[in-house]
Structure 1
Amino acid sequence: MAIFGLIAGLVIVFMFLRYLPVWGVRCIHLFDIDEKELIVVDVRDYNQAYNDSVHSTINIPVAYLNRYFHEIPDKQIHVVAANPLEKNISIRFLRKKGYHVKSYTLTDGQCDKKLA
C-alpha cells in the first residue's frame, strides 16, 4: 500500500509541474513588450524559432535550459513558448534559478483566447 501511495504522489507532482498553470505571470502580446526593460527568451525548438522568428531574442529551447541558462542576463524575462507545457516547464525552471519571469507569449494563439 505504501508503494501505491508513493507512486500516486510522484504522478501528482509530475502532473503539477507540467500542466498546472504558473501563477503570477501574465500572458501578453509580443507587440506590448518593452525590450529595454525585458529580456525575451524564446524556449521553442530551433526550427520553430527560425521559421517564426521574434526580433532580438535569446533562443534557448526548453531541453537546453539547464545547460545554457547562465547566458541569460539578470533582468526581468519575457518567455516565448509554443504551447502551455513549454511555458510551464521553462518558467518554473527559470524561477528556480533565481530569474524574475514577468510575462509570456504563446505562439499557438491560446493567449488570444484568454484576452478576448
Structure 2
Amino acid sequence: MVVMILTLLILAVIYYKRYIPVVGVQSADVNSLDKESVKVVDVRDYNESYKDPVVEAVNMPIAYMKRNYHEIAGKNIHVVAADELEKNMSIRFFRKRGIHVTSYTLMN
C-alpha cells in the first residue's frame, strides 16, 4: 500500500513538471522584445534551432541546461521553445535556480 502511494506521488510530480502550464509567464513575440533588458535563451534542440535561428539568442537545449545555465545567471530571460513540454520544463528549471523568466515564445 505504501509503495503504491509513493509511486503515485512520484508520477504526479513528474506529470506536474512536464504538463501543467507555468503560472505568471506570458507569451510574447521574440521580435518585439527589448534585447537590452532581456536575454533570449533558445531551449530547442540544435537540429531545430539551426533550421529556424533566433537572432542574438543563446542556444541552450534542455539536455545541456544543468552545465550551462551559469552563462545567464542574474539576468531576465525570454525562453524560446519548440513545444509546451520544453517551455514548462525550462521555465521551472530556471526559476528553481533564481533566474527570472519574463516571457516565452513557442516556435512550431
Q: TM-score range by the shorter chain?
A: over 0.9
TM-score for both structures, normalised by structure 2: 0.97
* Aligned-partner SS, 1:8: helix
> Normalising to structure 1: TM-score of the pair?
0.90
Report Cα offsets for 1:20-75 as digits up to 9, x if no partner.
00000001111221101100000000111111001000000011000100011521
Alignment RMSD? 0.8
Using the alignment, how far apart are the partners of 1:51 and 1:83 within structure 2?
16
Q: Which residue of 2 aligns with 1:62?
A: 62
Seq. identity, %: 49
Local SS of the residue matching 1:87 = helix
- Find runs of 4+ consecutive structure 1 residues off by over 2 angstroms: none
Whichever residue aligns with residue 40 of structure 1, its letter is V
Distance (Å, rounded) in 1 between the aligned partners of 2:74 and 2:33 = 17
CA contact (8 A) 1:83 1:106 kept: yes
1:30 and 1:101 mapped to 2: Cα distance? Answer: 13
Residue of structure 1 equivalent to 2:75: 75
Q: Map residues 24-35 of structure 1 onto 2, 5 A cutoff.
A: 24-35=24-35
Matched with 1:5 is 5
Amino acid at match of 1:91: I
Contact 2:79 2:87 in 1 (8 A): yes
Unaligned residue ranges in structure 1 (runs of 5+): 109-116
Structure 2 distance, partners of 1:44, 1:55, is: 14
